[in-house]
Amino acid sequence: MKKILFTTTMLIGLFVQLNAQSSYDGISDFYEGLASVSVNEKWGYIDQTGKLVIPIKYDIAYQFIDGMAAVAIDGKYGHINKQGTEVTPLKYDWVYYFTEGAALVQMGDKIGLVNREGKEITPIKYLINPDILPEGTGSYFSEGLLVVHVGDWDTGKAAYIDTKGKEAIPPMYDRANQFSEGLAAVSNDGYAGFIDRTGKEVIPLKYDEAWGFSEGSSIVKLDGKYGLIDTSGKELVSPQYDRIGYFSEGLATVRKDGKYGYMNRKGQLVIPIKYDEAHAFSNGEASVKENGQYFTIYKP
């Protein structure tokens, strides 16, 4: 029989939750020592002794992250601290969690930043691509910068703001991606290249498309063909493939003339281009198809 070990904190939390269930309509898990509880569709917070420490008055009350929680009344959101002080005024259509000392706040489709005192450190004027926001509670800044858009998506320009709300790189690109490995892919007039964190164009805007760097390399596209460059802009593989897949376990699928093979991050072809189908490696194995048959190959 397996033994289940409970920590003192787990046992206390479980005991409090069991007791609180008879007093409240709902109770969440504990985060940072507090749990949200509800009565008649209103929410507040209790501590691990079961004491009500933040009044039950909110329509919505999220978990505490880094000492702050998002709450709402009448559809307007703000932040409270663990003492129950409303730090960010409840006036926004949405607020995000704090990360690196700042939090995104939203009015309509525009966003801005507030600091931990609840002060707006940017105007509420930016657009943001929701796809760049991480799942869970990861930072939405990348290497200290966040890509935003000034103006509408069609005619506006992309810029970068830092954790203090400063426009570190002014709006000047049609499109821009988050930073990775010190570089960010940007584009103007249909041509893509890379800038560094100072805004300097270090890899010329000459590609049709460019993706973020990972482990020293990035996929680029030129004249309908895909290649691979390093962080200096050197072409490890000139654009010649019909497709390059994402790297998994150090290898990526490549397609040429309807057949697939695999290359490494140096751009070296390590498995010949001969398969009708090829899938990403996982645990050292990949599924491929050749002559109508599926089978497994192993990393060389």
- Comparing C-alpha atoms, which of 218, 167, 210 is closest to residue 188? 210
Pairwise CA distance, residues 146 & 172, whole Å = 15
DSSP string, 198-222: TS-EEEEEEESEE---BTTEEEEEE
Mean pLDDT of 247-273: 96
Q: Where are the domains of the chain?
A: 1-58, 249-300
Whole-angstrom distance, CA of residue 167 vs CA of residue 184: 16
pLDDT value for 89: 98
Helix, strand, or coil (residue 16)? helix
Q: Tens of pLDDT along 45-77?
A: 999 999 999 999 999 999 999 999 999 999 999
What 3-state DSSP class applies to 223? coil
pLDDT at position 11:
45
Residues 245 and 159: their CA atoms lie apart, in Å, by 29
Cα 198 to its chain centre, rounded Å, is: 22
Q: Is the pLDDT of residue 120 over 80?
A: yes
Are 78 and 88 within 8 A, CB to CB? yes
Q: What integer pLDDT is reported at residue 21 of this predicted model?
A: 55
Say yes or no to pLDDT of 206 above 70.
yes
pLDDT one-digit tens code per residue, 16-53: 555 555 689 999 999 999 999 999 999 999 999 999 99
The whole-angstrom separation of Cα 186 and Cα 175 is 6
Give yes or no for residue 168 having a pLDDT over 50: yes
Q: What letter does residue 34 receive in the DSSP assignment?
A: B
Q: Are 60 and 74 in contact (CB under 8 A)?
A: no
User: What tokens were used for 157?
Assistant: 């320009």
What's the token pair of residue 284?
A: 């050292």
Nearest-Å Rg of the Cα atoms of the chain is 25
pLDDT in the model for residue 1? 38
148 versus 22: the higher-pLDDT residue is: 148
Secondary structure of residue 46 in the 3-state scheme: strand
Provide the 3-class DSSP secondary structure of residue 8: helix
pLDDT at res. 23: 83
Burial of 76 (0-12, 13-18, 19+ CB in 10 A): middle
**In the chain, % of residues over pLDDT 90:** 89
Which 3 state secondary structure label does DSSP give 100? coil
Q: Are 177 and 193 in contact (CB under 8 A)?
A: no
Tokens 């691979």 sit on residue: 228
User: Are the C-beta atoms of 124 and 107 separated by less than 8 Å?
Assistant: yes
Alpha-carbon distance of 217 to 185, in angstroms, equals 12
